[in-house]
Each structure stands twice: as structure tokens, then as C-alpha cells.
Amino acid sequence: MKIIFFSSHSATWYYTFAEAVLANALQKKGYEVLFITPGNQLPRISNLLHEKILREKFNLKGYEIDKKLTSKDYKQINLILKNLNKNNFEKLKIKNILIGKISLYEFLLHHKKVSLNLSNSEWKECLLEIKDTLISLFSAQLIIDQEKPDRILMYSSLYSVNHVWKKYAEHKKIPVYFIHHGMNFSDMDNKLIIAKKNSFHYVKNLKKYWSKLNKVPISIAEAKYVTNNFLELLKAKHFLIYSTPKSKESLSIRKIFNINKDQKILVATMSSYDELFAAQYVGAWKMPKKIMFPTQIDWIKELIKYAKEKQNLFLIIRVHPREFPNKRESRKSEHAKILEKIFKTLPKNVKINWPYDNISIYDLAKETDVFLNAWSTVGVEASLLGIPVVLYSKELVLYPSELNTVGKNKKDYFNKIELALKKGWNYKKIKETYRWLSLYYYHTTIRFRKKMANQNKLITSKTFFNISNYFYNLLSPKIRSFFSNNFSNVGWLKIGERQRTDCELQLKERVDISEVEKMLIESRDTLIDMKKISKNKITSKEEDIFIRNELKRIYKALYNGDNETTKIKKNSLQYNLKRVIS
């Protein structure tokens, strides 16, 4: 089998290292592997030094894309760009691939846009994205046609320069697999997801598997693994976690928002629009045709109207942290600006929880009676604590809607809220969520590095990438090549020392890729082994013991700052958790 890895984002060591590790493991197994990199052709996202180190250390065969591109190709690309403007770029199509639209994926995310109103400066930025995507597509056509691979792998097939490789490969009926680090924050740097097409297709398949596996009890190792992730979410140290860490001291949400002791608390968790907008715009995801509330603003307006008539309730509307500047991004979204305008006048029993309030979702969870969710992962995290969650669409969430309650229409939706308030906390939902997250975290990945207490962590800092790339991009292609070829091996300069250390440590690891081989050979969608999971001999009673023990860990993490002499309120989250772990 011939396999191509297209490592487009070689400047991001976290990505390109993962691709190289997997390429090396498959090459050792005797597969014909080609490690294709951008070289100087995509200077905003590539790094020649990284490419050189990986090829040398892992003995990877392959080449840079400019080895195939000709002066004729560059002339054609420049001619296309010359004829583009803000009014016609969306129509740009090559081999039935919508280049104009696909090119804007990262731009839309970076600018947190929910519309295509482009300023002149933004249009200049878009042209750079389109140019890179065209270069990538032209190279994809040449390389795929010449090499005729059986499979193609890359880190995230949603990135524009990767997306066009995926599209052209599919046109040639060649299966494409995306790579991503595991989603468990306690172990993310050490595991890889490998699955067909893109992340949306991947989750869709997981939901299908879930319908067959949701009755299968999980092991003690799986239960611990799920809890480990939740504890990392509470700390919020990982650069990919948006939420504020849980407060170290006891925090009273009722005091902060001036909530009456007799009022029940509803928390509506909004989601950032730009991610779905970008995915929909590039054709990776489709908005459901029939949806109860066309927009989140329509949904929130109906909730405000509902709460205004129910003075026994208090509604907290939590705006997603991504909408505002945060530890990952410095930009405010277009959607946030709209929200600020419509949330100026509210009933007394409705308050907004803005990201700059610095309140953790887990401090809110400790006092929330029911969560009302759009498509945030809070729907899973709340369910793991047994807190009822009501959805208005099962199609929008990237997890099984069965973990929550879904309204069929507006009347039924508000009836479901009333029912959730009446029924309250549910231990059964905790068990179901542990099973889902076991599938999501545990059975869909391979381990490529051992997890050790004092492990040398991979370089993941976005600041590091941005600063190094800024200076790197100031150099001309010739100087970049000269620098990479002549100074990278000068010991006292220590250029690339950390990257070389990562490679040397990795070469000592034994990577088991047997499941990856099966998946690629059989052209399966995911790494999930149904037979292996179904052979599980764990009983429901044993699973119950495992989960209750894990809830002790969660209870301790949630309430370790609370005053032990304070009386626990009946039917509160603390009361219910303590009842099942005692």
C-alpha cells in the first residue's frame, strides 16, 4: 500500500511531529510512505527547518511540493488571482472544487466572522489565503496523479490547503484520513485520532456506534480516564480550554447575580457561531433544514420571554468565552457585538454571564438546576454531573442528544424545561455519559507516546509559533533555504535542539499501529473495534462501583474549597453527589 502524508503546517511542530511519527511507524511496517511538505511554497504555515529535522531523524522519504510545480503552474495561479475580486471569488471553481470558499476557512475562524462583509484590508488577507490554497491544489493534482497513492493522511482536513487535497483525492476515489491529537486533556499530547474524511464525519460515525454500544458497561480504566479529563477541565490550564478555572474558594452564584433563595436557576449556554459558520461555508457541515429557533438570538429572546413570566425562576445567559478576547485569541467576534446590543434591557430575573466576569462554568454548575444548551460541550459536562440539560435541536450537538432531553417543538421544548425542573438530578445520565466519553476518548485513538509524570512536553505554545514564524517569514525563500541547510546543525547555536530532542525520545517509543493498519487496509471510517468492545466482561454492578468511586474524585475537586461546617442544601448538586458516593 502506498500512503502519502501531506504535512502542510510544518511550522506548527505539534501537528507536523504527529504526522511524522505516524509516517515513520507505517514506513517501518513496510508500507511505501511519502512525506510531502510545503517547503518554501506556503511560508505563512511552513518551516523548512522542521521539515529537515523530521526527514533526517525519522528517515522519511518524500519531497517538497515545489519539486513538482512549474513556472507554467505559477503563471496560471497568478492569472487566476489577477481576475479575482470580492464580488466573484466565491464562484472560483477548479475540478468542481469551490476554491474561493474553501480558502477562507481559517480566515473566518481567525476573524470570528458570521458574515461575508469584507473590508479592503480583509480582502487582501483573503487573497493570500486563496493563493496558498491554489498552490496546494495545483501540487495535489500533480502529486496525486503521478504517485497514485492508495491512502492520504493529513492533520485536520478542514484546513483550506488540506481540504483541497481531500477534495481532489476523493475525486480520484482515494480515501483520505485526518489526524488529530486525542480529545482527553489529561493525555492529549500522547494520543492520536485517525479517522476518515473530517471531524464532522467522524462524530457522525461515533453516534452510530454509540447506538450499538450504549448498553455496554465500561472498565475501571475507562472510567478513570473519563474523570481525568473532567479534572483537567476544572483546572482549565490547557491552551485549548476556553473556560475560567473553577474557583479555589467557595463561590456563591446566588450572591453574585442576586438570586432569591426560592428561585430555581436555569443557565442557557450559548455557543460561538463562527466555527459552525466557517464549516458550513466551506461545505464541511450542513445546517439542519428545520430548526426550532433559526438563530441563537431567536432562542434567547424566547427564553427571556419565558423567564419574565416565571418569577420563581432565574435565567442566566452564558455567552461563550470564544466570542470575546481570551487566552487563545485577542479578537471579539461579530456575533458578540450583536449580543451586546440586544442584551441592554432585561427583566430582573434574567442576567448575562459575560466572559469577562471570569466565572467558571463549573462554579455555575454547582448551583444550576437545569442547563439549556445550544450546541456547546457543556451539554456533555453537565450530564456527567447528573444535571438535566434541555436542547432545542438534536442535529446541532456533536454528541448523542440522548444524553440530554430534546424538545420536539416550541411548546414541547418549554414543557421539557418544566419537566426537567420537576425531575431534577439524574444518576442514570451520569452512567450514560461515562459510557459515551469512554467511546469518545478511549476507543477512538492510538497511543504514540507513553504518559510520564515528568514528560518532555511537545511545543504547543501558539505564541512561540507566531513569534518564530513572524521573523521566519521576513526572510526570502532563498535565505530560508540557506539558513536551514547551513546553520541548523551548528551545535552551539542550538537551533532546533528542542525539536531534535522530541524526535530522539520518540524513536525510543514502541508505537502499536495494528489498529491503524486494519483501518487503512479495510478502508474503515474509525479505529473503533466493535468486536473488542463487545467482548467486555464488565457487569453493570461492577461499572456502578467504578463510576461511584470516580464521582468521589469529582466531588473532592468540586468542593475542596467549601466550608465543611456549612449545611448542604437538600437536592443540590453537592447533596446528590454525596448521597451516591457515601
> In this structure, what C-alpha cell is assigned to residue 59?
528517515
What pLDDT, on the 0 to 100 scale, is given for residue 504?
95
Nearest to 447 by CA among 228, 203, 184, 94: 184
Is pLDDT above 70 for 453? no
Q: How far apart are CA 86 and CA 123, in angstroms?
A: 7
Is pLDDT above 70 for 486? no
Find the mean pLDDT for residues 283-312: 93
What pLDDT, on the 0 to 100 scale, is given for residue 330?
74
116-137, pLDDT tens digit by residue?
Answer: 989 999 999 999 999 999 999 9
508-551, pLDDT tens digit by residue?
Answer: 999 999 999 999 999 999 999 888 888 888 999 999 999 999 99
Q: How confident is the model at residue 322 (pLDDT cuts 50, 70, 90)?
A: confident
Is pLDDT above 50 for 189? yes
What pLDDT, on the 0 to 100 scale, is given for residue 63?
97
> In this structure, what C-alpha cell is assigned to residue 99?
476554491
Nearest to 27 by CA among 64, 57, 66, 65: 57
Q: How confident is the model at residue 274 (pLDDT cuts 50, 70, 90)?
A: confident
Long-range contacts of 393-396, Cβ-Cβ distance < 8 Å, separation of 24 or more: 393/288, 393/291, 393/292, 393/293, 395/288, 395/291, 396/276, 396/288, 396/291
Least confident stretch, 117-121, 195-199, 465-469, 518-522: 465-469
What pLDDT, on the 0 to 100 scale, is given for residue 471?
57
- With pLDDT > 70 as the criterion, what percentage of the chain qualifies? 91
Find the mean pLDDT for residues 298-321: 95
Where does 262-344 have alpha helices with state H? 273-281, 296-308, 334-342
What pLDDT, on the 0 to 100 scale, is given for residue 325?
72
Q: How far apart are CA 512 and CA 490, in angstroms?
A: 34
Beta pairing class for 313-318 and 2-6:
unpaired
3-class secondary structure, 369: coil
The angle formed by the CA atoms of residues 290, 424 and 381, to the nearest 5 degrees, is 65
Walk me through the domains of the chain, giving residue ranges and CATH numbers. Answer: 2-181+451-508 (3.40.50), 217-443+544-581 (3.40.50.2000)
Cβ atoms of 136 and 45 closer than 8 Å: no
- Summary mean pLDDT of the chain: 91
Residue length of the chain: 582
What pLDDT, on the 0 to 100 scale, is given for residue 337?
83
Is pLDDT above 70 for 259? yes
- In eight-state DSSP terms, residue 32 is E
What string of H, E and C letters represents the secondary structure of 85-134? Answer: CCCCHHHCCECCECHHHHCCHHHHHHCCCCCCCCCHHHHHHHHHHHHHHH
Q: How far apart are CA 369 and CA 387, in angstroms?
A: 7
* CA atoms lying within 13 Å on the CB side of residue 68: 20
* CA atoms lying within 13 Å on the CB side of residue 89: 22
Edge to edge, the sheet with strand 32-36 lists 32-36, 2-6, 151-155, 176-181, 191-196, 445-447
- In eight-state DSSP terms, residue 257 is T
Q: How confident is the model at residue 464 (pLDDT cuts 50, 70, 90)?
A: very low
Q: What is the dihedral of CA 502, 503, 508, 511, to 10 degrees?
A: 100
Q: How confident is the model at residue 462 (pLDDT cuts 50, 70, 90)?
A: very low
343-396, pLDDT tens digit by residue?
Answer: 888 999 999 999 899 999 999 999 999 999 999 999 999 999 999 999 999 999
3-class secondary structure, 151: strand
SS3 content of the chain, % helix, strand, coil (to 5): 50, 10, 40
Neighbours of 150 (CB within 10 A): 15
Nearest to 183 by CA among 195, 196, 167, 171: 195
Q: How far apart are CA 565 and CA 560, in angstroms?
A: 13
Q: Position 469: which residue type?
A: N
Q: How far is CA 276 from the centre of its chain?
A: 12
Least confident stretch, 164-178, 272-286, 417-431, 459-473: 459-473
- 40-54, 235-249, 442-456: which is most confident: 40-54
Q: How far apart are CA 26 and CA 518, in angstroms?
A: 12
Helix (H) or strand (E) holding 532: helix 530-534
- With pLDDT > 90 as the criterion, what percentage of the chain qualifies? 77
Is pLDDT above 70 for 480? no
What pLDDT, on the 0 to 100 scale, is given for residue 469?
52
18-63, pLDDT tens digit by residue?
Answer: 999 999 999 999 999 999 999 999 999 999 999 999 999 999 999 9
What pLDDT, on the 0 to 100 scale, is given for residue 513?
96
Nearest to 59 by CA among 512, 447, 506: 506
> In this structure, what C-alpha cell is assigned to residue 285?
457541515
pTM over 0.85: yes
